Structure 1
């Protein structure tokens, strides 16, 4: 395993860990907010805003790891009914479409990120938060997802197992 490969894998797993930690924060912030409201208190505005940001970060940072682990929802009903050769072709075509969509979204996300930096945009709801800190997640996550889907396109492993049903 090369240094680049190890660094890439470490980044992928670090993003997944941050995503998991964000899920814990979302649980804590929602419980705290509901408890405060039930006690007649007004939760701080930053509590709600941090939960909103957390949903974005959790989704975007966890998605590349889910692609690697085949954790995204997909239906095997059709691919399970196909002959082996045709199933391999369909799986590669789906992976190619996923790569294409991820590359486009990474490119548009990078454009949005650079626009936010150029303009000096801030999100000003509860506190001043540089908008580029939100939009950096788009090119990063979609770029890594494009790489992960490329592994199914060019590698030996397929996205689709050909087995319908739940296998966990």
Structure 2
């Protein structure tokens, strides 16, 4: 093992810890969302009024926790995948297709991160606002997408490396549809 690959391996392990933190943040947001909705329902049930902003907060929390959880789920192999064709092909062909899929996904996430970043900057420059119960700059909604697509792109590159260095076969992911 070279010093370079050892450094990348350490970086990969640190990256995994970051993704675990993102997954925990998503779980915390889901917990807060549940508490908020229960509080709103409880307030109505006991004729204490309601929390008119609860649904909007839940909407934003759902959006954010989806982006926060995605890289962690990808790392864990708990994303949805259709691998029936991969499992029917010879192992080396499946392995090569896995590499190609990770490369394509990394490129796609990079393009989406760049487009989202550009949209966030344009929104900030225009001073666009979200006008609902809460009023705030629109770029606040776009920036997490830019950041998380960048995180996903990096994770796909790490997946590509792990696939390259691993057995020449299809991955044994946790949520296979086959």
> TM-score band (shorter)?
0.7 to 0.9
Q: Is the 8 A contact 1:22 1:58 kept in 2?
A: yes
Task: Tell whether 2:29 aligns with 1:19.
Answer: no
Tell me the matched-pair count.
166
1:50 aligns with 2:60: no
Name structure 1 gaps, 5 residues minimum: none
* Aligned position for 1:131: 138
1:11 Cα offset (Å):
3.4
TM-score (norm 2): 0.79
> Which one of the candidate residues 100, 117, 129 is aligned to 1:110?
117
**Contact preservation (8 Å) 1:80, 1:164:** no
Any residues of structure 2 matched to 1:14-163 within 5 Å, and which?
14-155=21-162, 156-157=165-166, 160-161=170-171
Q: What is the root-mean-square deviation in Å for CA atoms of aligned residues? A: 2.8
Aligned to 2:3: none
CA distance 1:128–1:40, change in 2 (3 Å): same
Secondary structure of the 1:45 match is: coil
2-side partners of 1:38 and 1:111: how far apart?
45
2-structure distance, mates of 1:33, 1:95: 43
Q: Which runs of 5+ in 2 are unaligned?
A: 1-5
Q: CA separation of 1:165/1:57 partners in 2, compared to 1, >3 Å: closer, same or farther?
A: closer
Aligned to 1:27, the other structure's residue is in SS state helix
Higher mean displacement: 35-44 or 110-119: 35-44
- How far apart are residue 29 of structure 1 and its match? 2.0
Q: Return the alpha-carbon distance in structure 2 between the equivalents of residues 56 and 144 of structure 1.
A: 16
